[in-house]
Amino acid sequence: MRELEKLFARYYRGMASTIYVSDVPLREFMFRDFEGKVRRHMSFRDLSELRKYLVDNPPMHAYYSVSLYRNPTAPMVEKEPIRAELLFDIDSTDFKDEECERESIWRCKNCGLSGKGIPPDKCPKCGSGRMEVNHWLNERCISLTKEEVGKLIGVLSEDLGASLDEIAVSYTGNRGFHVRVSEGKLTTLSKEGRREVAFYAMGRGFDPTPLFIVEKGLVKLDLRSSIARRALEHLLSAQVKLTPSLREKVLLLSKGMGVRLGSRERKYLLNLLKESAQRSGARIDWMVTMDTGRLTRIPNSIHGKTGFRALRLSLDEYGVFNPFKDAVGLPSEPEIKVRVKMPVPAFRLRDEAFGPYSPGEEVQLPGFAAAFVILRGRAEPLNH
Partner 1 sequence: MREGEILLIAPFSREAAALLEEQGLTLEDLAFDPLLENARRFARERLIRAIEGRILYPDMINPVNEVYAFVAAKLIASRVGRSMLSRLANYEAKRFMELSERLSTEKLIDLARGTFGFEFRFNNGLWVDVVSYSNGCAGIGGPKWRLVNRVVRKGYVLVNERDLRRLISEYVKMKVMETPRIELPDPLEEIAKEISDMFAKRMRKRFKRPKKGDFPPCIRELISKLRRGENLTHQARFALTAFLLNVGWSEEQVLDLFRSAPDFNERIASYQISHIAKRKYKPPSCETMKNWGLCPGDCGRRYMLEGFD
Cβ atoms of 382 and 346 within 8 Å: the answer is: no
Q: How far is the CB of 163 from partner 1 (least distance, A)?
A: 9
Least separation in angstroms between residue 129's CB and partner 1 is 8
Q: Which of 75, 124, 210, 360 binds partner 1 (CB under 8 A)?
A: 210
- Taking CB under 8 A as the criterion, the residue among 49, 196, 248, 333 binding partner 1 is 196
Main-chain dihedrals φ then ψ at residue 264, nearest 5 degrees: -65, -45
Q: Does 185 bind partner 1 (CB under 8 A)?
A: yes
Q: Smallest distance from the beta carbon of 265 to partner 1, in angstroms?
A: 20
42-50, 55-63, 193-201, 238-246 -> range binding partner 1 (CB under 8 A): 193-201
Binding segment toward partner 1, per CB under 8 A, in 23-31, 74-82, 200-208, 343-351? 200-208
> For residue 157, which of 174, 181, 173, 126 has the smallest C-alpha distance?
181
Instruction: Output the smallest distance, CB 192 to partner 1, in A.
Output: 3
Residues 166 and 209: their CA atoms lie apart, in Å, by: 34
- Alpha-carbon distance of 326 to 324, in angstroms, equals 6
Quick one: 42 or 160, whose CB is closer to partner 1?
Answer: 160
Which x/- pattern over 226-245 shows residues binding partner 1 (rule: CB under 8 A)?
Answer: xx------------------
Q: Closer to partner 1 by CB, 105 or 227: give it.
A: 227
Q: Distance between CA atoms of 373 and 384, rounded to whole angstroms?
A: 18
Nearest to 364 by CA among 336, 342, 345, 325: 336
Closer to partner 1 by CB, 200 or 368: give it. Answer: 200
Hey, what amino acid is at 316?
A: D
Q: Considering the rule CB under 8 A, would residue 197 count as an interface residue with partner 1?
A: yes
Axis crossing angle, helix 263-279 with helix 226-236, rounded to the nearest 10? 100
Adjacent-strand bridge partners of 218: 215
Integer-rounded Cα radius of gyration of the chain? 24
Classified as helix, coil or strand, 233 is: helix
Residues that bind partner 1 (CB under 8 A): 158-162, 185-186, 188-190, 192-197, 199-200, 202-211, 222, 224-227, 277, 287
